Structure 1
Amino acid sequence: MQGKSVKLTIFKSIYAILIFVIAVLIISRLSTGDNADMTAQMSEATLPTVSFVSNYREVSPLHGYLEEMDISHIRGTIFPIGSGRDINYKIKTYGQKVTNLSFEVRNIDGSGLVENTDLQDYKESEDTITGSFQLKDLISSGSEYMLVMLMDTEIGRARFYSRIVWTNDESRYHIDEEVDFVRNFSIATFDKEAASEYSRYLESNSEGDNTSFNKVNIHSSFNQVTWGDLQIVDHSDPEVYVTDIHGQTGSYLLKYQISIKEGALNKTYNVCEAYRLRFTSDRIYLLNFERTVNYIFDTKSFSITKNVIGLSISDPDLQLVESSSGSAFAFVSENRLYMLNNSENRLAYLFGFYDDNNNDIRTRWDQNCIKILKVDEAGNVKFAVAGYMNRGTHEGQVGIAVYDYNATINAVEEQAFVQSKSDPQILMEYVDTIAYVNNSDVFYVMLDQNIYAIDLNDRTSTSVVDDIGQGEYKISESMNTIAWQSDDLKSLNMMNLGTKTVSEVTAENGDLIRVLGFMGEDMVYGLVHESDVLNDQMGNPVYAMYNILIQDGDGNILENYHPDGIYVTSVSISDNQIRMTRVVKDEEAGKYISTYDDQIMSTLKAEKGSNTVSVVSVDIYEKIVQISTKSEIKTKQIRVLTPAQTLFEGDRDVNIDTKRNADEKPFYYVYGLMGIEGIYSDPAEAVKLAFRSPGTVVGDNNKYVWIKGNLLRSNQNMSITRSAEIYPNMTSKDPVSVCLDLILNYEGVNRNVESLLAGGDSVYQILESSLPDARILDLDGCPMSAMLYYTNKDIPVMAMLNDGTAVLIIGFNDLNTVLMNPTTGAVYKYGMNDSEKLFEENGNHFITYIMEED
């Protein structure tokens, strides 16, 4: 019996050990993402690409969408076509089957179909399709349209979008010469001797930063533009994108990769170059040149020492989110997401559409972004991917996907997907504005100027704040709190997204309240006596704040600023400082006069994380970026993981109807040299940004509101000039009334402007009610030279002066503006520099319009 008992004990021990070993093996396989039944690697890209061919040059590669997009919010590239209306194209199929080719031409705002034609005559090889087609005589010269190429693919009907413009001549805005120029300029930068020919195009001066290769522009030194002493061993052939083109100017993007020798390794960098050119019969002028260079961090040739993760030449504005103790953190490098769990010596590559040394243009397309939402102590990461989906489950769709990385099983799982029909860049801009997840797994995001709450557990959505983008709203630094004011300015609401609680701050009787922003997590707002609200030259209210307050999340007042007899009209908040623009009240004149500015400094020091991003100088690399870690990294013990994606049945889509009403306030989209720069409800802010960028402003209908440059050498509105010459008794009438009369008469409208002004209508209100087919643009604060865009189009610009009078800007040449002054009755030329000084001293108060049907 005793022998049997011993044998039984041994058998049980062996059995227990065997079960333990099997369990360890299963867990091990799960932790490395090898369980094919539960996880899989992201599927490869399958959609084809389409390029246009211009004199044997391929330009503007297009990527396929599996859903019909909102054309009024698709920007993309543009292709000019000549008098014959012919278009040559090339489709790269990557070995996939492509059938049923056709194309559509639609109005640029998507309002109507101009042409729909099947394509029959094309040549097909193993991985390419080439052909050409001719548009019907149904389009207007100089107007932009949307061309949609359609084809059936192995995963669905795909659409490829590009703007087109018919130029009615064979020059086609000189696209071939300009493409040759930007390509040759780019290639020459790798050879200092060849580049000397192009040195005359540079404007090297003190504005250029010659301390970093990450950002280089036309003001940088010749040596900086030609890569200094970097050992570049290879560079790929650039992809050329035509982003904007007009009669006088053209804008281009070049994207390629370089390899730089670093010790025994060759490291890869993404390069993006932007060019803006002006073509003349004599030569090409380089108006703007910008270049960005960013290291592609990878898990094979990374540089990690005991306390530093090296990111070489990169943008220092690096996204890094850490756990509460800092033992785990996630960071984004060139649109790829990584997580380091220092306590467990794990480095995981969590997400990215392109792999190391991947030359597939489809996976490298950068119309998407990653937003880190949360990192916990175990190294679990919640994140969102917004924009165009290059590959995987949602290939060819635009939307926001929320993912969860589970460190225990080393797998990434989709939590929700919100589809969108907007331009990927617009969606990325919204997500950059606010994307936040609380501890209850509720994801907050802005879509089309509304804020939504998406429950990641049951995938339901609710609207939190409607049309917040149309009014004044502010978001705290952590995105944990949003604040917005009521339409009547009697109160403001502050919502804590973590707790979902809303608190209200109400103004006292006779007062108004204005939300100004956040200093860290503390809200800044101002109080205004209603009796102190006066109108500016345009008739718009000026809210002069007598009191500025800073309030924490618990409602405690941290700062109460109320200078005696001085009012604040605007503030800017940066780091721990509030800068205030101030005025004093001239009771007799009934207006405000500028006085010296002031500032409020916070005594609280900005909190720094345990792991920090820093910039250091390193010989030939100049400034490089690195992550300094809280604790030592055991580099020899570090394990590199590449998680797979968890498989699931069905979908995890969240449907949100973001369609806006036609009567809602319009928005303005600013596109700079390298893409979208911002979305504004105020056209003045949009134009100011586009002027600095430089770039363009388009409205909700995808039509231009403003373009940098592209001016004729001179122009004068002769209709208004003639009307001014015969205007009866001009100098005896109110100058504002005369200017409005001339504008309305020019547009064929006759109204009693004097009685409207006497009745209290503002200049804006009179123009808005009198020109129902126009978009009225209050461009207060914009530089005078930006107004020449409108006079170039024969649209008068009204400028209000401090003495209550007004003038019209109706023309210009290289040296002068052409003004119509009702107080003198004269139309005359005034020096360009003198004009800028005159209007700047009078506050740059401009108002104009554009006709919506143009």
Structure 2
Amino acid sequence: MRDNLIKITIIKTIYAIAIFVIAVFALSKLSNGDNADMTARMQPATLPVVTLVTDEGDVNPLHGYLSDIDVNYMRGTVFPVGGDRSFSFKINTFGSNVWNIGFELRSIDGNRLIENTPITDYAEDNDYITGNIQLKDLITADTEYMLVFVMETDNGTVRYYTRVVWEESGSKYNLDECLSFVLGFSEATFSKTEAKEYSKYLESNSEGDNTSFNKVNIHSSFSQVTWGELNITKHTTPEVYITDIHSQTACIELQYRVALKDGNYTRAYNVVEDYRVRYTTDRLYLLNFERTMNFIFDYNSYSVGKNSISLGIEDSDIEFRESASGTAFAFVSENRLYAFNNSENRLAYIFGFYDGDNDDIRTRWNKNLIKILNVDEAGNVKFAVAGYMNRGIHEGEVGIAVYDYNSSLNAVEEQIFVKSTSSPEILMSYFDRLAYSSNNEMFYCMLDQNVYEIDLIGKSGKSVVDDIGTGQYKISESQNVIAWQKDDLKSLQLMNLNTRATSEITADEGDFIILLGFMGEDLVYGLVHEQDVMNDQMGNPIYAMYCLKIEDSDGNLLEKYSPEGIYITGVTVNGNQLKITRVVKNEDGSGYVSTYDDQIMNTLEVESGNNTVDVASVDVFEKIVQITTKSEIKSKQLRVLTPNQTLFEGDRDVEIKIERDIDKNPLYYVYGLNGDVRIYASPAKAVLDANDAPGVVTSDNNEYIWIKGNLLRSNQIMAITRMAESYENMTSQNPVAVCLDLVLQFRGTNRDVEGLLANGMGVEQILENSLTDARVLDLDGCPLSSMLYYVNQDIPVICLLNNGDAMLVIGFNELNTVLMDPMNGAVYKYGMNDSAELFENDGNHFITYITEG
């Protein structure tokens, strides 16, 4: 009996020990994010990639979409199709199943289906499918269309988008010559001897920054463009993206990696090069060249030191956030998110679609953005990812995903996924403006000019601020407070996104209030007497503010600026400085003229964090970026973790319905040289931005509003020249009426323009009411050089002068403009520089139009 009891006791003890060991093992595995029942690694990429074939190699890698996309907002790449309307393609299946391959050809806005054809002319070889496409004779030369590859895969129907344009002559766009030059230039930069041949294309001057390899451009020195003394041991074959092409210019982007040797370590960098070139029969011109170089953070190398984490050659403006005490912080390096917890000596690679040593083009595609929303003392991180989802459960979709990283479980869990039908670039642009998470689990983001509140617990979303429009809202630096106002300009609305508390600032009787922006967390606004509001010649109101106020988040007045006899027309915030644009009334009080600017300085010191992002100079590396930590890092004992993702049943998708009348509230999209997009409600602001970018402006219908360069050597609108010579009422009408009358007659419309002006209608309103098949563009403030784009297309440009006169710009050549003076009907040439100075001194008040459809 006693022996049996002993045996039972021993068995129970062994059983208890076994249970304890299993429990400890399970807990250990769970805390390392490795529990197969609850977490798993992010699923690998599965979708094929399509490329197009040229004599210079494969171009335009296209990535697949499994979700619905609004074609009118897709831009991406473009491909010129030869005279016979045929071209070749290649599909890298990566071993996946592909069938029912075909294509759709649509109008650029996606509304009209021109062709829907299955592809039968192809061959399969291991992981590659190669084939040929023959477009039908249903397209117009030099007109962009949207080509959509369609195929069935194990994941469902996948679509791939690219623009195509038919060059009927077969050699109008000279793509092969442009590609040959760009690829040759890029390759030559790795050899100072070979690069000498291309040095004549550089414009090295004081505009170039020769202190960092992170950003290099056409103005940088020869040494900087050829990588200085960096020991680059190899580079991958560039991926080629044709982002824009016209008869005169082409924009091409290269993406590749370099290996950089530094002592015993070799570090990998992502490199992006953007080129804008112009091809002529005489030679090829390099108009723009920009290169960025960013370190692919390697936590296994020497990157973590005693008091710093080195991010190598990198943009210093990285996404970074720390906990209140600074014990924990998170940062984004080259679009991958990391978290460091000093109290536990842990570094976690939380999120990223690509691995540092993985050269899969599908995971490296850079059409998404990560924002850190919150970091707490325990090292938990809330973050959001917006754009194209390269892999995982949302692979091939566009949207915003909000995640929680649980430090104790070392696991990442999706909270919600907001689906979007927009292009990744446009979604990223809005996401970059506003992405905020409140303490009560509400997430705020901007989509198509509306601010949305998304309940992370209830998985639902709604708009909280509608139709605020570009320029009518401002967001504080922390994104905690948003301010906006209605069209009547009688009040400002403010919302604290953390508390949902709203407040209002109202103007006094007889005044308007103008929202100007935030200086950090302090609100800046102006006050205008109603009687001081005057219209310019285009009919646009000039709100001349007699007073400017700055208030803190509690409504306390910090600054009141009210100069005697001087009015404020605008402010620009630059750090802790407020630049103020000012005017005074003219002698008869009927208008305003510019006077000297002023400024206000914020004397409050900006609080620095416990951990800081710093820039250091390091020999041949020039400038590098590093995070300087408040406490010592025990780098030899550092634990490096790679969390898994928590599995869950069903989905956590949030559907948001977005509706905007694009005719009443049109937006303008500026695509810069690097493909980034910025969105404006004002065409003038869009053209100004694109002129500097350089880039293009498109509409909600995906049609061009403006293109940088791409001009003929000369052009003159002869129809208006002849009309001016025979114009009978030249001396009886005012100059503005004459210009309007000629423009309307040129468009086949007759109106009593002088009577309309006498009744108070502005120039823009008259044109909008008369040109029903055109989009009227108020391009006030844009330089004369940007107006030549329209004249080049036989579209006249009206310039309104401050003295009440007007002129028509109807032609140009390399040295002159061709102007029409309505005072006498004379059409004459005037020097290009003199014309630019003439109109600039008068404020560059231009107005024109583009035909639509």
TM, length-normalised to structure 1: 0.98
Q: SS in structure 2 opposite 1:736?
A: helix
Q: What is the CA distance between 1:15 and its match in structure 2?
A: 7.7
Aligned to 2:137: 137
Cα displacement (A) at 1:768: 0.8
Question: For residues 393 and 70 of structure 2, what CA distance do their matches in structure 1 show?
Answer: 22
Give the residue type in structure 1 aligned to 2:597. D
Match status 1:206 vs 2:206: yes
Determine helix, strand or coil for the equivalent of 1:468.
coil
The one-letter code of the counterpart of 1:705 is: I
Q: Letter of the aligned partner of 1:509 in structure 2?
A: E
Counterpart of 2:379, as a letter, is G
Tell me, yes or no, if structure 1 residue 535 matches structure 2 residue 535: yes
Which amino acid is the alignment partner of residue 525 of structure 1?
Answer: Y
Alpha-carbon deviations, 1:607-646, whole Å to 9, x = none?
2211111111111001111111111111111100000000
User: Residue 684 of structure 1 contacts residue 780 of structure 1 at CA under 8 Å; is this kept in 2?
Assistant: yes
Tell me what 2:560 maps to. Answer: 560
Tell me the equivalent position of 1:115. 115
- Residue of structure 1 equivalent to 2:848: 848
Q: Could you say which residue in structure 2 is the equivalent of 1:669?
A: 669
Deviations 1:701-731 (A, max 9, x none): 1010000000000000011111111111313
Partner of 1:510: 510
Rounded to whole Å, the distance in 2 between the matches of 1:353 and 1:172 is 39
Query: Which residue number in structure 2 is paired with residue 776 of structure 1?
Result: 776
Other structure's SS at 1:636 match: helix
Residue range with higher mean Cα deviation, 4-13 or 666-675: 4-13
Query: 1:389 offset after TM fit, Å?
Result: 0.5
- Is 2:82 the counterpart of 1:79? no
Paired residue for 2:167? Answer: 167
What's the CA shift for 1:57?
Answer: 1.7
CA contact (8 A) 1:669 1:676 kept: no
Secondary structure (helix, strand or coil) at the match of 1:745 reads helix
CA distance, structure 2, for counterparts of residue 620 and residue 35 of structure 1: 45
The equivalent of 2:387 in structure 1 is 387
Read off the aligned partner of 2:563 and give its amino acid letter: P
Give 1:26 deviation, angstroms: 2.2
Cα distance in 1 for partners of 2:722, 2:625 equals: 62
Structure 1: runs of 5 or more not aligned: none
Aligned to 1:344: 344
Distance 1:570 1:283 in 2: 45
1:220-266, Cα deviation, whole Å (9 max, x unpaired): 11111011110000100000100000000000000000000011111
Structure 2 match to 1:603: 603
1:63-78 superposed matches below 5 A: 63-78=63-78
In structure 1, the residue matched to 2:186 is 186
Aligned partners of 2:93 and 2:128 also within 8 Å: yes
Shift of 1:676: 2.0
Instruction: Name the SS for the 1:281 alignment partner.
Output: coil
Cα deviations across residues 43-65 of structure 1 (Å, max 9, x unaligned)?
11110011111126211110000
Which digits, 9 at most, give the CA deviation of each residue in 1:380-404, with x for residues without a partner?
1111111001111000111111111
* Counterpart contact for 2:490–2:507, Cα < 8 Å: yes
Contact 1:215–1:291, Cα closer than 8 Å, also in 2: yes
Identity of aligned residues (%): 64
Decide whether the 8 Å contact of 1:335 with 1:369 is kept in 2.
yes
Letter in 1 for 2:125: S
Q: Give the direction of change, closer, same or farther, for the CA distance of 1:733–1:262 in structure 2 (3 Å limit).
A: same
How many angstroms does 1:663 deviate by? 3.5
Partner of 1:577: 577
Match of 2:469 in 1: 469
1:542 & 1:15 partners in 2: Cα distance? 85
Alpha-carbon distance in 2 for matches of 1:837, 1:8: 103
Q: Is it true that 1:650 corresponds to 2:627 in the alignment?
A: no
Deviations 1:173-208 (A, max 9, x none): 000111111111101100111111111111111111
Match of 1:792 in 2: 792
Question: Partners of 2:356 and 2:289 in 1: how far apart?
Answer: 29
**CA displacement at 1:275 relative to structure 2:** 0.5
Aligned to 1:232: 232
User: Equivalent residue for 2:759?
Assistant: 759
- The code of the aligned residue for 2:633 comes to I
Residue 805 of structure 1 aligns with an amino acid whose one-letter code is D
Q: Distance in 2 between matches of 1:779 and 1:31?
A: 59
Aligned residues: 853
* Partner in structure 2 of residue 266 of structure 1: 266
SS in 2 for 1:731: coil
Q: Which amino acid aligns with 2:824?
A: T
Shift of the alpha carbon at 1:780?
0.7
Q: CA deviation at 1:25?
A: 2.3
- Following the alignment from structure 1 to structure 2, what is the Cα–Cα distance between the partners of residues 139 and 846? 34
User: d(CA) in 2 for partners of 1:430 and 1:2?
Assistant: 78
Q: State how far apart, in whole Å, the 2-side matches of 1:302 and 1:448 are.
A: 44
Cα pair 1:80 1:172 within 8 Å, conserved: no
Q: Deviations over 1:301-335 (max 9, x none)?
A: 25111111111111111110111111100000000
TM-fit CA distance, 1:659? 3.0
Q: Scaled by the length of structure 2, what TM-score is found?
A: 0.98
Distance 2:304 2:506 in 1: 53
Match of residue 734 from structure 2: 734
Question: Which residue of the partner structure matches residue 681 of structure 1?
Answer: 681
User: Which residue in 2 is equivalent to 1:306?
Assistant: 306
**Offset at 1:377?**
0.6
Q: Which moved more, 1:256-265 or 1:599-608?
A: 599-608
Q: Which moved more, 1:301-310 or 1:115-124?
A: 301-310
Structure 2 residue identity aligned to 1:618: V
List aligned pairs for 1:235-250, cutoff 5 A: 235-250=235-250
Distance 1:363 1:18, change over 3 A: same
Q: How much does 1:78 deviate?
A: 0.1
Q: What SS is found at the alignment partner of 1:675?
A: coil
Tell whether the 8 Å contact from 1:82 to 1:172 is kept in structure 2 after alignment: no
Structure 1 residues 3 and 59: alpha-carbon distance in aligned structure 2, compared to 1, 3 A threshold: closer
Q: Secondary structure at the match of 2:185?
A: helix
Aligned amino acid, residue 681 of structure 1: A
What are the Cα deviations for residues 79-136 of structure 1, in whole angstroms up to 9, with x where unaligned? Answer: 0011100021011111111100111100001111011111112101110001102111
Report the counterpart of residue 29 of structure 2 in structure 1: 29
Distance (whole Å) between structure 2 residues aligned to residue 527 and residue 10 of structure 1: 87
CA distance in 2, matches of 1:159, 1:418: 20
What is the aligned partner in structure 2 of residue 660 from structure 1?
A: 660
* Contact 2:667–2:681 (Cα < 8 Å) also in 1: yes
List per-residue Cα deviations over 1:517-564 (Å, max 9, x = no partner): 001111111110000001113221000001111112222211111112
Map of 2:50 onto structure 1: 50
The CA deviation at 1:9 is 11
Residue aligned with 2:338, SS? strand
Matching residue's letter, 1:655 = E
Q: What is the distance in 2 between the residues matched to 1:50 and 1:677?
A: 24
Is 1:401 matched up with 2:401? yes
| Aligned mates of 1:513, 1:142 — CA distance in 2 | 48
Distance 1:231 1:349 in 2: 28
1:97 aligned partner: 97
Alpha-carbon shift at residue 339 of structure 1 (Å): 0.3
Superposed CA offset, 1:750-788 (max 9, x none): 100111101111111111111122111111111110000
Correspondences of 1:622-633 after superposition (within 5 Å): 622-633=622-633
Cα offset for 1:662? Answer: 3.9
In structure 2, the partner of 1:217 is 217
Which position in structure 2 is the counterpart of 1:487? 487
Do the aligned partners of residues 267 and 759 (structure 1) sit closer, same or farther apart at CA in structure 2, a change above 3 Å counting? same
Cα distance per residue 1:252-290 (max 9 Å; x no partner)? 000000000011111000000001011011111111110
Give the whole-Å Cα distance in 2 for the aligned partners of 1:698 and 1:122.
35
SS of match in other structure, 2:200: helix
Using the alignment, how far apart are the partners of 1:580 and 1:393 within structure 2?
A: 50
Establish whether residue 293 from structure 1 lines up as the match of residue 289 from structure 2: no
Q: Name the structure 2 match of 1:364.
A: 364
More divergent stretch after superposition (677-686 vs 492-501):
677-686
Residue in structure 2 matched with residue 457 of structure 1 by the alignment = 457
What's the offset of the Cα at 1:661?
2.4
| 1:812 matched residue in structure 2 | 812
CA-atom RMSD in angstroms = 1.8
| Aligned amino acid, residue 183 of structure 1 | L
- From the superposition, tell whether residues 511 and 21 of structure 1 become closer, same or farther in structure 2 (CA, over 3 Å): same
Q: CA separation in 2, counterparts of 1:832 and 1:457?
A: 62
Shift of 1:802: 1.4
